Structure 1
Amino acid sequence: MNPTVPKSVFTFFNKLEKNNNRDWFNEHKPEFKAIEGEVKLFYNKVLEDLNKHDDIDKLKIFRIYRDVRFSKNKLPYKTHFGGSFHRTKPKLRGGYYLHIQPNNESFLATGFWEPAPADLLRIRKEFEMDDEEIRDILANKNFNSIWGNSFVGDEVKTAPKGFSKDHKAIDLIKKKQYIFTKKYTDAEVLNANFINEIDRAFKAVRPYFDYMSDVLTTDLNGVSLV
């Protein structure tokens, strides 16, 4: 039987949002650790399912403690769970992320959050040379029924240095991140089928990852770099 996200996750985080201080959290820490244990089982099942059709070398579940050193928000605790799944480099590129948060704020994300400067330039050069293949992937019915047909994330205002703002693929070239997100309601997250929905969504990303991995492991002439 597949693990599920317990309703207590949302109940606890809603209480924490109203009592985001160390005294309250320390008093309720045993409750949090029990919930965290159930959630870790869920994330590890997502990992197990992913590895049936991909090659994931690391799952990182982020700690609840916020780094407040350089933040205006000094609240000490996060009110969500987050976990990332890293594909095995250098041959495989891209990553998956699962975010569990109450009040219909849960989501999946996938793609390239912070490409290294060399990778970002390589992606942009590929799109400058030929944008047909990536557009075909984004137009795929199964893919865009889940993830939509356009990237989300930051972009430059006009064109990156060295690229023409009038290029036909400037909408792709000016991106600084190449990611997709999909939001879920609390009811969807608590549903027994949610873990299968996650796997279905992540599986649909594979053509995009195959393409981007090929781009990032070859030069502009298609010669392998790994």
Structure 2
Amino acid sequence: MSKTVPEAYFNFLKELKENNNKEWMDAHKNTYLKLEKEFKAFCASTKDRLNTLDQIERAKVFRINRDVRFSKNKMPYKTNRSVIFSREGVQRRGSYYFQMAPGNSFMGGGFFSPESPDLLRIRKEFELDAAPIRTILKQPHFNKAFNGFNTEDQVKTAPKGFSKEDPNIDLIRNKNFFVNHAFTDEEVLAEDFQENLIIHFKLLLPFFDYMSEVLTTDLNGESVL
């Protein structure tokens, strides 16, 4: 299994961006299949490394084909390759994510578009006591790598049932509880990139452990499993 990202995939994705159509992809199908196999080998190797830190149920490589049924963008293919590493068991929440694309590579992790009960549970926890999550977010290495939650998707004032005057409204307003870290093309193509990626994934563990405890208990701290 490969420990490096296939550099040729970067060039392929650049060309795909300029030729995003089925005819071009069909003409380059063999190249795509070879590169996809190499990328999946990198993902499998990364999953093995992650399993020395955590327990990973599976590594899911997302399809390159786009679902264009409800999108104004009818380009048939994604111009990135991405994978999600799902943690094993209902007691372990959160997932690790990596996206590779020329000029837009990043890793991340957390809780993206959580289901309504989970979203409410997280918000209620932050309303009750946000000190633990703030401690995690402010931890020097974590803060340097991620600089807080991704805040691109928030409610404008306060979610229903919460006060906009709540001292933790900056956290409660989030619809996602997700952090990410960008990599340069040079970093992704470096021989030690997998190690760099694992280091950043490892930073997520205290965050995942805390959020798993929140999502597997009620507000009294009693298990709901």
The TM-score range, normalised by the shorter chain, is: over 0.9
Query: How does the TM-score come out when normalised to structure 2?
Result: 0.97
Are 2:110 and 2:177, in contact at CA under 8 Å, matched by a contact in 1? yes
Are 2:3 and 2:46, in contact at CA under 8 Å, matched by a contact in 1? no
Quote the residue 1:22 is aligned against. Answer: 22
Are 1:153 and 1:179, in contact at CA under 8 Å, matched by a contact in 2? no
* Residue segments in structure 1 that go unaligned for 5+ positions in a row: none
Aligned length: 225
Moved over 6 A (4+): none
Matched, 1:110 2:116: no
Over residues 168-208 of structure 1, what are the superposed CA-to-partner deviations in whole Å (9 max), with x where a residue is unaligned?
A: 00001111100011111111100011100110001011111
Over residues 74-117 of structure 1, what are the superposed CA-to-partner deviations in whole Å (9 max), with x where a residue is unaligned?
A: 11111110111111231000111110001x21111111001110
Quote the residue 1:8 is aligned against. Answer: 8
Task: Return the alpha-carbon distance in structure 1 between the equivalents of residues 12 and 87 of structure 2.
Answer: 31
Mapping for residues 80-159 of structure 1, pairs under 5 Å: 80-102=80-102, 104-159=103-158
Quote the residue 2:178 is aligned against. Answer: 179
Are 2:148 and 2:179, in contact at CA under 8 Å, matched by a contact in 1? no
2:121 counterpart letter in structure 1: R
* Structure 1 residue 149, shift from structure 2 partner: 3.1
1:47 counterpart letter in structure 2: K
2:64 counterpart letter in structure 1: I
Task: Return the alpha-carbon distance in structure 1 between the equivalents of residues 81 and 48 of structure 2.
Answer: 19
Task: Return the alpha-carbon distance in structure 2 between the equivalents of residues 190 and 138 of structure 1.
Answer: 29
* Residue segments in structure 2 that go unaligned for 5+ positions in a row: none
